[in-house]
Structure 1
Amino acid sequence: MSSNKITRNKKDDLFHVIHKVPAGDGPYVRAKHAQLVEKEPEAAIVLFWKAINAGDRVDSALKDMAVVMKQLDRTEEAIEAVKSFRGLCSKQAQESLDNVLIDLYKKCGKVEDQIDLLKRKLRMIYQGEAFNGKPTKTARSHGKKFQVSVKQETSRLLGNLGWAYMQKCNFMAAEVVYKKAQMVDPDANKACNLGLCLMKQCRYREAKSVLEGVTQGRLPGSEDCKSRKRAQDLLVQVESRQQPADEDFGNGLQQLMNQWVPLPSRSKRLPIFEEISSYRDQMAC
């Protein structure tokens, strides 16, 4: 092999590494080139379609095409594509296609579909069918690979389900799910969501206790600046909403008592107000 050819091959290898484009000349490779190098998403979608029809890396082509469609606000089309063509994909790809669908449902506000799919994925975990029967799976985020355990995935899915219930204003269901998620694998982000859920139910004391777990560094992820800042902001809201409510309750109760006991010289109150008065501070809290 000539030195020029060796140099050219090295340059090609370096190009693929830098741009994260696979080697080859099929429709899938051309689609990735259009997506990542030429920055032409519409052309990339056309080529991804060709790759799927040609049977060229169908698993990756369908997932990548759905992601590009989502970026172009063609979310409904992406959902239909995944549903229609996932049957052409391998068994190993189905779990990641579910995750793509969940993101698409979230993007276009299909909360009920999101809830149904999250429940189905959780049911698969409980039945031992997740991760293709393995205890861990390899996930990717921001170009980096890492291992995810069944426990971590269960907590993540429960967290997503809790947030979906929050969008439906079903705060009681969201609370149950968030608490279960924290029992499985606690973290600061879900604690903030649980705190917000309790605030929506006007249960400020409980919300404060949960959020302080983040600000005091008692939970994994508490060191994250965003989670800590969010917890601090929510605690400010808790304080601003809790104090006026306590004050209003106390003032209202006093006015009611004054109506029943208008004269200072009167020595005896009705028994019910004697009982309420003794627990007034506790009730106001």
Structure 2
Amino acid sequence: MEGGSWNTSKDEEQHLFHVVYKVPSGDTPYVRAKHAQIVQKDPEAAIVWFWKAINAGDRVDSALKDMAVVMKQLDRTEEAIEAIKSFRVLCSKSSQESIDNILIDLYKKCGRIDEQIVMLKQKLRMIYRGEAFNGRPTKTARSHGKKFQVSVKQETSRILGNLGWAYMQKSNYMAAEVVYKKAQMIDPDANKACNLGYCLIKQARYDEARSVLEGIQQGTTPGSDDMRTRRRAEELLAELELNRPEIVASDIMGLDLDEDFVDGLEKLMNAWGSSRPRRLPIFEEMAQSRDQLAC
């Protein structure tokens, strides 16, 4: 009887341990990897066990993604990229989208901006073809341990925001402006508005930049209540008024947006709002910008 009670108590303790530390139960390579990562806080040991899990075919989807995240934390980003490229073929089709997200983040981390841009465009094309979220209109995402639903429109705006940021890193402010405007038309927020304002300032289009940034100050842009974003908007307005830097033609780079990509986004956005004109103002503006550069 006492032995039975002891076993029951031990089982309960093990269950509580796994619940508290959020690690799976068992004694497989993947379980050992998660134990090393979360409980022992030994990332190097965790990577060794993740490799063993992948080679043993033990929860390969999770093992590869978790290992890449740990490698990123250790600044072994290039190694993580090569691992994903080599072993993602072993992962399920349903996990490929989340693997893409990790790969994009790794490219951003190590400054491989061109590859990041290619993958972001690829994800937008998948949305246009109806292949995102495995064909569903929403997906379940997780942030800080909480689950929430993300719509295709929200995901499109998020990807466009990342694409705009990538173009900014290449000082291609005209392309970044076009992309940020698309994102704001779909799901506006103050952070992307700040970046849009910055792009306009870099093109010496001060009145347009002021209008965008003042929308944050006045609270008319969604997300304007975030104090960090409001401070950035104030700093950009101050920079605009004090410096007003002159920009020369050589500083303005081409759009670098291929026609298939542009047409696909236009069709996608027209499908979301049938009342929109056949050609969105953004694309007219883009065409005008090209004409100006050609002059």
TM-score range, shorter chain: 0.7 to 0.9
Show structure 1 runs of 5+ residues with no match. Answer: 246-285
Per the alignment, residue 47 of structure 1 pairs with 49
Per the alignment, residue 251 of structure 2 pairs with none
TM-score scaled by length of structure 2: 0.80
TM-score scaled by length of structure 1: 0.83
CA shift in 2, pair 1:203/1:55, >3 Å: same
Q: After the TM superposition, which residues 1-285 of structure 1 pair with which residues of structure 2 at under 5 Å, given as runs?
A: 2-242=4-244
1:163 CA drift (Å): 0.5
The amino acid that maps onto 1:53 is N
The amino acid that maps onto 1:128 is G
Deviations 1:141-184 (A, max 9, x none): 12221111000000000000001011111111100000000001
Show structure 2 runs of 5+ residues with no match. Answer: 248-295
Alpha-carbon distance between aligned partners in 2 of 1:243 and 1:28, rounded to the nearest angstrom = 55
The amino acid that maps onto 2:31 is V
Aligned length: 245
Alpha-carbon distance between aligned partners in 2 of 1:219 and 1:22, rounded to the nearest angstrom = 43
Helix, strand or coil for the counterpart of 1:218?
Answer: coil
Q: Following superposition, which runs of at least 4 residues in structure 1 exceed 4 angstroms of deviation?
A: none
Alpha-carbon distance between aligned partners in 2 of 1:116 and 1:44, rounded to the nearest angstrom = 31
Alpha-carbon distance between aligned partners in 1 of 2:18 and 2:221, rounded to the nearest angstrom = 40
How large is the Cα RMSD of the aligned pairs?
1.6
- Whose radius of gyration is greater, 1 or 2? 1
The amino acid that maps onto 2:45 is A
Deviations 1:108-167 (A, max 9, x none): 100000000000000000010100000001111122211110000000000000010111
Query: Which one scores higher on RCO, CA 8 angstroms, separation ≥ 6?
Result: 2
CA shift in 2, pair 1:244/1:102, >3 Å: closer
The amino acid that maps onto 2:116 is Q
Helix, strand or coil for the counterpart of 2:243?
Answer: helix
1:243 CA drift (Å): 10
Identity of aligned residues (%): 74
The amino acid that maps onto 1:2 is G
CA shift in 2, pair 1:225/1:14, >3 Å: farther
Helix, strand or coil for the counterpart of 2:140?
Answer: strand
Alpha-carbon distance between aligned partners in 1 of 2:53 and 2:200, rounded to the nearest angstrom = 48
More deviation, 185-194/15-24: 15-24
Alpha-carbon distance between aligned partners in 2 of 1:135 and 1:30, rounded to the nearest angstrom = 36
Alpha-carbon distance between aligned partners in 2 of 1:115 and 1:244, rounded to the nearest angstrom = 28
CA shift in 2, pair 1:244/1:54, >3 Å: closer
